[in-house]
């Protein structure tokens, strides 16, 4: 049984979809209610038993390092105010026993290149890749669902979900054969095909558990037309040598790389948030009622909106 102790968080990308918010601060620090996207991603990794967090950062992303670092000033002020629970909250951002390591990706050469930047830190071990702008909700957390599958089958695993027709060109898309209800033996994978050429309706969500053999493929694959080295291309190359599984995860994906997905996450999380759910629920119902929806019915699109 192979354990997975390391996770790579590619966070070097320059975001254009959330400008101007992301001009000077990273998109991974956008909060859903009160927690930045990167922290949700880190919590999911820690819940899966990961203890070494490797962030592939770039210029303008230093605030991510600060977020996972100790803040003497903030803790000092909170202690002086007697807010012990808030001291514990900020201390829990990086639990004891978890290590954060940062490596720079100097040029935006794609997701595959970002993963390659972590090669020396990974060495000859399996590892996870977590894309923070895919906010995944699952019980257990999605990466914790994937690690036992990886260990059991001794194969790389990518998380997939069925997408709506027409959405192929925003995903890596797999082809393959179902082994059981949720596990698919991958026979092909293509990056962002046109809807007409997509081999299936199963798209890759931003979670991967990979064998270290992926690095030799990443070093070999040709950059795509836009000059980027795609992780999908390396997985495609890997298929010639070894088995790769796709796992239809149990849970919901919020594509927080888009404004719509980010808003959907915000609404759903607010409806469950201990501090605001009652007041927000009441406000939302009144708002939707005023807009002509049936009073007393859940707000359209406010719960369980994406595919599940
Ligand atoms: C990346 C991957 C793509 C995957 C997607 C999941 O694309 O290249 O294969 O389906 O993440 O979110 P991006 O969304 O970074 O363009």
pLDDT at 188 over 80: yes
In the chain, the percentage of residues whose pLDDT exceeds 90 is 83
Which of left, alpha, beta for 192 (phi over 0: left; psi -120 to 50: alpha)? left
What are the two backbone dihedrals, phi and then psi, of residue 5, each rounded to the nearest 5 degrees?
A: -115, -15
Angle at 99 between CA 146 and CA 144, to 5 degrees: 15
Compute the average pLDDT of residues 284-302: 64
111 lines ligand 1 (CB under 6 A): yes
For 55-77, give one letter per residue: b (16+ CB within 10 A) or e: bbbbeebeebeebbeeeeeebee
Question: So what's the pLDDT on residue 298?
Answer: 47
* SS3 call for 247: strand
Mean pLDDT computed over 107-117: 95
In tens, the pLDDT along 196-228 reads 999 999 999 999 999 999 999 999 999 988 899
Dihedral pair phi/psi, residue 284, rounded to 5°: -65, -45
Rounded Cα gap, residues 89 and 235, in angstroms: 38
CA 209 / ligand 1 centre spacing (Å): 15
Least confident of 119-133, 159-173, 285-299: 285-299
Residue minimizing CA distance to atom 8 of ligand 1 = 172
The domain ranges of the chain are: 6-257, 258-288
Ligand 1 touching residue 126 (CB < 6 A): no
Q: What is the pLDDT of residue 302?
A: 38
How far apart, in whole angstroms, are the C-alpha atoms of residue 19 and residue 152? 43
Domain covering 6-257, topology: Spore Coat Polysaccharide Biosynthesis Protein SpsA; Chain A (3.90.550)
How many angstroms does the Cα of residue 232 sit away from the middle of ligand 1?
9
172 C-alpha to ligand 1 centroid (Å): 6
Query: pLDDT value at position 295?
Result: 47
* Residues 174, 187: Cα–Cα separation, whole Å: 7
Comparing 238-247, 249-258, 299-308, the range with the smallest average pLDDT is 299-308
**Percentage of the chain modeled with pLDDT above 70:** 94
Ligand 1 pocket test, candidate residues 171, 205, 226, 234, most atoms within 8 A of CB: 171
The pLDDT score that the predictor gives to residue 109 is 93
The H-assigned helical ranges of 15-137 are: 37-47, 62-67, 72-80, 84-91, 111-116, 119-122
Q: Is there an atom of ligand 1 within 6 Å of 173 CB? A: no
Mean residue pLDDT across the chain: 92
Closest Cα to atom 10 of ligand 1: 171
Enumerate the β-bridge partners of residue 238.
none
**Stated pTM of the model:** 0.92
Res 292: pLDDT:
65
Nearest residue (by CA) to ligand 1, atom 7, is 171
Instruction: Give the pLDDT score at 305.
Output: 32
The alpha-helical segments, DSSP class H, found in 69-162 are 72-80, 84-91, 111-116, 119-122, 142-153
Q: Give me the mean pLDDT over the 118-140 stretch.
A: 97
Binning pLDDT at 50, 70 and 90, where does residue 300 land?
Answer: very low
Q: Which of 201, 160, 151, 207 is nearest to 183 (CA)?
A: 160
Alpha-carbon distance of 68 to 287, in angstroms, equals 37
Q: At what angle do helices 84-91 and 72-80 cross, to 10 degrees?
A: 160
Mean pLDDT of all residues in 141-148: 98
Q: Is the CB of 174 under 6 A from ligand 1?
A: no
């Amino acid at each position: 049984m192979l354990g997975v102790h390391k996770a790579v968080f590619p966070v070097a990308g320059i975001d254009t979809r959330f400008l101007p918010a992301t001009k000077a601060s990273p998109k991974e620090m956008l909060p859903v209610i009160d927690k930045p996207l990167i922290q949700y991603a880190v919590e999911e990794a820690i819940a899966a038993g990961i203890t070494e967090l490797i962030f592939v950062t770039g210029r303008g992303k230093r605030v991510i390092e600060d977020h996972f670092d100790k803040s003497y000033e903030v803790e000092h002020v909170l202690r002086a105010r007697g807010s012990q629970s808030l001291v514990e909250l900020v201390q829990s951002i990086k639990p004891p026993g978890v290590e954060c390591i940062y490596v720079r990706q100097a040029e935006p050469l794609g997701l595959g290149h970002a993963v390659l930047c972590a090669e020396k830190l990974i060495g000859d071990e399996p590892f996870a890749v977590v894309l923070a702008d895919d906010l995944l909700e699952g019980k257990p957390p999605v990466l914790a669902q994937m690690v036992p599958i990886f260990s059991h089958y001794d194969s790389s695993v990518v998380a997939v979900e069925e997408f709506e027709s027409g959405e192929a060109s925003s995903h890596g898309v797999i082809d393959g054969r179902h082994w059981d209800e949720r596990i698919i033996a991958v026979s092909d994978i293509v990056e962002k095909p046109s809807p007409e050429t997509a081999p299936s309706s199963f798209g890759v969500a931003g979670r991967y558990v990979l064998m270290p053999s992926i690095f030799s493929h990443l070093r070999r694959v040709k950059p795509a037309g836009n000059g980027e080295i795609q992780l999908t291309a390396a997985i495609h190359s890997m298929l010639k040598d070894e088995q790769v599984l796709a796992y239809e995860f149990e849970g919901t994906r919020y594509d927080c790389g888009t404004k719509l997905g980010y808003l959907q996450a915000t609404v759903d999380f607010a409806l469950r948030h201990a501090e605001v759910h009652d007041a927000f629920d009441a406000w939302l119902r009144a708002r939707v009622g005023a807009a002509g929806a049936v009073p007393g019915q859940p707000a359209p699109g406010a719960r369980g909106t994406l595919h599940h």
